[in-house]
């Protein structure tokens, strides 16, 4: 397809597509003349991902470029490729905490992961920005008087485990390699706000069920 068709099918203006090409967020098309190139379904899929990251997720261009570099890194196994790509996305902020509070929180996280049998998460540990964020936010909650134990987190984590299985089941509907990693990135950008909205809506419904609507 030519640039105009790529623009029409993706809903992205030709000027924006050219910008993404210049910024190396989109691979160049196949040159057919000195001034024209052809694009295919891979370009359309990648363009949708770029649009999701930048226009919907607010991901900076430089960060999006880093994410896509991991998406295309065939030297990594799928687990590390997925991890590197999603870790490169903007993460939950890590709250500043003192060393003692962080140490206590780390122990709770380790107890939780051991109970869940999430051995790989324990092995990766501080390499994961998600692990670090969980530690620092547990420490912050404790310092504010809202301490949460591993036992209290366990039922929530079990539900998250089910969601993760659903995510991976959907992911395996796509061809292995870059397309699966692209879908994992898109899911994190687009589904995290969706799941948060569902959680809050479920809480509203459960509150009304227990106490009625007054």
| pLDDT at position 157 | 96
| pLDDT at position 210 | 95
Series of mean pLDDT values for 10-residue runs along the chain (214 residues): 92 93 92 87 93 91 95 91 90 71 90 94 87 90 91 95 93 90 91 92 95 86
Domains of the chain: 1-88+174-214 (1.10.1660.10), 91-173 (no CATH)
Structure tokens at 116: 């869940």
| pLDDT at position 160 | 94
| pLDDT at position 96 | 65
**111 within 8 A of 80, measured Cβ to Cβ:** no
**123 within 8 A of 101, measured Cβ to Cβ:** no
How far, in Å, CA of 169 to CA of 167, rounded?
6
Helices and strands counted in the chain (H then E): 10, 2
CA dihedral sign of residues 90, 95, 97, 101: negative
- Which of 41, 1, 55, 46 has its CA nearest to residue 21? 46
CA angle 75, 17, 76 (to 5 degrees): 10
| pLDDT at position 176 | 85
């Amino acid at each position: 397809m030519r640039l105009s068709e790529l623009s029409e099918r993706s809903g992205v203006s030709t000027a924006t597509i050219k910008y993404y090409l210049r910024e190396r967020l989109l691979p160049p098309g196949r040159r057919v003349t000195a001034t024209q190139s052809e694009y295919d379904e891979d370009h359309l899929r990648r363009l949708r991902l770029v649009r999701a990251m930048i226009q919907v997720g607010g991901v900076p261009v430089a960060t999006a470029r880093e994410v896509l570099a991991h998406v295309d890194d065939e030297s990594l196994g799928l687990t590390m490729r997925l991890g590197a790509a999603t870790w490169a996305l903007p993460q939950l902020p890590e709250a500043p905490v003192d060393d003692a509070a962080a140490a206590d929180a780390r122990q709770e996280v380790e107890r939780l992961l051991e109970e869940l049998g999430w051995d790989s998460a324990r092995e990766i540990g501080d390499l994961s920005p998600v692990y670090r964020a969980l530690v620092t936010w547990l420490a912050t909650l404790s310092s504010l008087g809202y301490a949460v134990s591993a036992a209290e987190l366990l039922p929530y984590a079990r539900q998250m485990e089910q969601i993760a299985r659903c995510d991976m089941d959907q992911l395996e509907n796509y061809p292995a390699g870059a397309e699966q990693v692209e879908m994992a990135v898109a899911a994190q950008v687009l589904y995290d706000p969706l799941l948060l909205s569902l959680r809050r809506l479920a809480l509203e419904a459960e509150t009304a069920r227990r106490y009625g609507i007054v």
